[in-house]
Amino acid sequence: MTATETQQAKTASDSASRRYATVNPFTGETEKEFDFTPTEAIDGIIGRAHGAYREWAQRPVADRAAVVRRAAELMDERRDDLAALITTEMGKRKEEATGELYLCSMILKYYADNGPGFLEPTSITPLMGKGEAVVETRPIGVLLAIEPWNYPFYQVVRVAGPNLVLGNTVILKHAEITPQCAVAIEQLFTDAGAPEGVFTNTFLRIDDVEQVIADPRIQGVTLTGSERAGSSVGSLAGKYLKKSVLELGGSDPFIVLDADDMAATVKAATSGRMQNTGQACTASKRLIVTEEHYEPFVEGLKQAFSTFSPGDPADPSTSLAPLSSERAAQDLHAQIQDAIDKGATVVAGGKRPDRPGAFVEATILTDVTPEMRAFREELFGPAAVVYKVKDDEEAVALANDSDFGLGATVMSGDVDRARAVAERLEAGMVWINQPTGSSPELPFGGVKRSGYGRELSELAMFEFANRRLVRTVPVRKAEKPISG
């Protein structure tokens, strides 16, 4: 065993024995640890969140929106420090960490500015009887948000932004490897003026999650994470009759129908696959290319992937950051090796660099077949699988041959052709001539095993809302008696 392998094995063992710890994935060093939230403290946390809801929901919506906007302003002011925290805890490159915080600020400002308007009552003209009918959008109470490490601020604010403006309160259980980000988010909302209990960070044990969901004061639960976690939380939500939203994995197709500008197409595919070191649910993981364009596409992608070199994610010149943890790097490499062992072709990468850090080479696989793990499983890291197809029909069939249905991309100079293909894709989001992305005004979510419900856009305001009907009928006046 090499020195690097020994260090990697030790890091993996150490990480597995700790929970809620900042383990720098570049150095392997544990920088800070946090105690679990005591099980006996959970009732009090929920009680404070429930009490805060009673007051928060009655505040004018403009006041709630002002707190959310102030949180965005504080995020702008603290951007450099928060970006450094993201880089330290989960290894995101400095430029991408800063970009995540820009997007978070946009989301909070979007709901601060537009949320009150989304909550305006809507009128319905009754079909029977006189009077009026109005649908109001009201909060429902305390929500539990279970969030992942890959976008440690973005995943949280896309839940917190709309729901705090709506009038709900939020209890956060963040990923065990990003505890300092979780603390910083709570501090943002506290400093922005949110009363105690409106937004609460916890360091819950997984075994204590059911206790929270079961509590009658909890009215909803949302999770972004793996299929396994989603299945567990969805089952608990159903058991205790709680509303849930799940944003789970993805194995997004990137379909190349034609390419008048192959360099631009390759650049888009590279960006779609390698953003955040490939650790995104909506990353372009399956690159599906018509046979006419297959060879030049693969050659261009090989050249692009060859430029990725591992380094310190805090260094602006670094092009390939470590994965979030040694465990994540080991898991991805095992999937890649399984494909290689069963006959896949390695066009680029395929190995772990012989150096410290949770790195996996930027990898391209072809000739991947259904018996390989890489055909069905989500590859959460810098590994792309490229498939050759005869025509649009075969491209659609392969794209839909997946348990996932989060996002998809269709590339073509013929927009009508691209739209015809997009119309047939089983996905919650389809982007034409651009990799799947995110913006505050665009709904985010999937179908099939990628989950259910929507975050962002106006739709997010209604996932955990009471769409309350108020039907008013005029008072009928009694007829005057006939006098004799």
Token pair 């505890």 is found at 179
Angstrom distance (rounded) from CA 404 to CA 432: 19
Other Cβ atoms less than 10 A from the Cβ of 140: the count is 19
> What number of residues does the chain have?
484
312: left (phi over 0), alpha (psi -120 to 50) or beta: beta
Angstrom distance (rounded) from CA 345 to CA 339: 8
Q: How far is CA 75 from CA 90, 169, 206, in A?
A: 19, 20, 29
Report the C-alpha dihedral over residues 306, 312, 317, 323, rounded to 10 degrees: 50
Just list the catalytic residues: 247, 281
| Cβ contacts of 276-279, under 8 Å, gap ≥ 24 | 276/92, 276/96, 276/150, 276/151, 277/91, 277/92, 277/93, 277/320, 277/321, 277/322, 277/323, 277/381, 277/382, 278/379, 278/380, 278/381, 278/382, 278/383, 279/150, 279/323, 279/324, 279/328, 279/380, 279/381
Buried b / exposed e over 293-310, threshold 16 CB at 10 Å, is bbeebbebbbebbeebeb
